[in-house]
Amino acid sequence: MTVITSAQNARIKHVLGLVERRKMRTRHKQFFVEGVRAITGVCENGWPIETLIYCPQMIHSDWAREIVARVEQRVHLRVDKTLLSRISQRSTPSELIAVVAQAQDDLGRIPLSEKLLAVLVDRPQNPGNLGSLIRSCDALGADGLLVIGHAVDVYAPRTVRASMGSFFALPVVRVDGFETLATWLRSIRARFERFQMIGSSAHAQHVVFDCDLTVPMLLVLGNETRGASYRLRQLCDVNVTIPMSGAASSLNMAAAASILLYEVDRQRAVGEQISLEERRCKNTKKMV
């Protein structure tokens, strides 16, 4: 059992490159993952582990032992304690670190139904905000997140870490251009007559609580400083705002998304309850 001790080892240099450089992540279609929630998410959702890094003397939990036993031996990379600390992005190194294959940027990964709820974010610039947005989308029932424009790297370590494991449960797709998005939208509109593209803006005239959010929809969120682009706003069927009091003129992107997604969930839950009551009334009348 070979244990690597030098950061000059070619495989170790490759891992560090994935942490530090977006170009490396893009070229090799790989990214860096660390921590219990994240690696559990990788395993539970079937993401391919291409390298599993650990120090044999620092494997103490049943969780880590189970992952080590489950992952193929050919991708194991054993290191000493000093090198594990060098690779880790935490003050206390995790038991396990992984290099994982990136998912395809295919809009077909977004599941389609009459209850479609997808989110599009335009040119996000902060990896922590993007990770928090992914977490909110996962927690509040979104079917997927689309990222468009010159944006922060979806696979940056800070983005993945901020998602708290949700990154691996939610389809996150980078859209390579406006025409790709427009083509996808045309197919959605042809399939779902009630589909709406709903934009979010601090300057919109329509209040979100007055908008029908029970339709199949794509919720559009803008850049943290500039909002959504003019082309995206023009595509939207309606733009909505969140009413606010106090001195704040806007909300953090992930916070705004959480409020909007919660309102979607609330309206749809109320709608389902009304439909259930209507069906019960009809059945009662038939019985009478």
Helix (H/G/I), strand (E/B), else coil: 259:
helix
Helix (H/G/I), strand (E/B), else coil: 256:
helix
Query: Which pLDDT does position 121 carry in this prediction?
Result: 96
Condensed to tens digits (0 to 9), the pLDDT of residues 168-206 reads: 999 999 999 999 999 999 999 999 999 999 998 777 778
Q: Which of 58-67, 133-142, 184-193, 237-246 has the lowest mean pLDDT?
A: 237-246
Query: Which pLDDT does position 2 carry in this prediction?
Result: 86
Whether 76 and 99 have beta carbons less than 8 Å apart is answered as no
- Global pTM? 0.90
Given a cut of 90, whether residue 57 has pLDDT beyond it is yes
Nearest to 166 by CA among 69, 49, 254, 76: 254
CATH 3.30.1330.30 in the chain is located at 10-101
Region 236-258 average pLDDT = 83
Angle at Cα 260 formed by Cα 125 and Cα 109, nearest 5°?
65
What's the chain's average pLDDT? Answer: 91
| Strand ranges for 104-156 from DSSP E | 117-122, 144-148
φ, ψ of residue 52 in degrees (nearest 5): -115, 120
* Euclidean distance between CA atoms 225 and 142, whole angstroms: 24
- Class of domain 107-275 (CATH, top level): alpha beta
- Sorting pLDDT into bands at 50, 70 and 90, what band is 114? very high
* Euclidean distance between CA atoms 165 and 149, whole angstroms: 24
- Residue 284: CB atoms within 10 A of its CB come to 9
* Euclidean distance between CA atoms 78 and 226, whole angstroms: 46
* Euclidean distance between CA atoms 33 and 157, whole angstroms: 7
Residue with tokens 């209040």: 207
* Euclidean distance between CA atoms 13 and 6, whole angstroms: 10
- The CATH number assigned to the domain with range 10-101 reads 3.30.1330.30
Condensed to tens digits (0 to 9), the pLDDT of residues 65-113 reads: 999 999 999 999 999 999 999 999 998 999 999 999 999 999 999 999 9
Query: Which pLDDT does position 248 carry in this prediction?
Result: 67
Q: What is the CA radius of gyration of the chain?
A: 22
- Sorting pLDDT into bands at 50, 70 and 90, what band is 276? very low
- From residue 233, give the alpha-carbon distance in Å to each of 30, 90, 243: 33, 40, 19
Query: Got the DSSP string for 162-208?
Result: HTTTGGGTS-EEEE--HHHHHHHHHHHHHH-TT-EEEEE-TT-SEEG
φ, ψ of residue 218 in degrees (nearest 5): -120, 115
Given a cut of 50, whether residue 220 has pLDDT beyond it is yes
Distance of CA 154 to the CA centre of its chain: 8
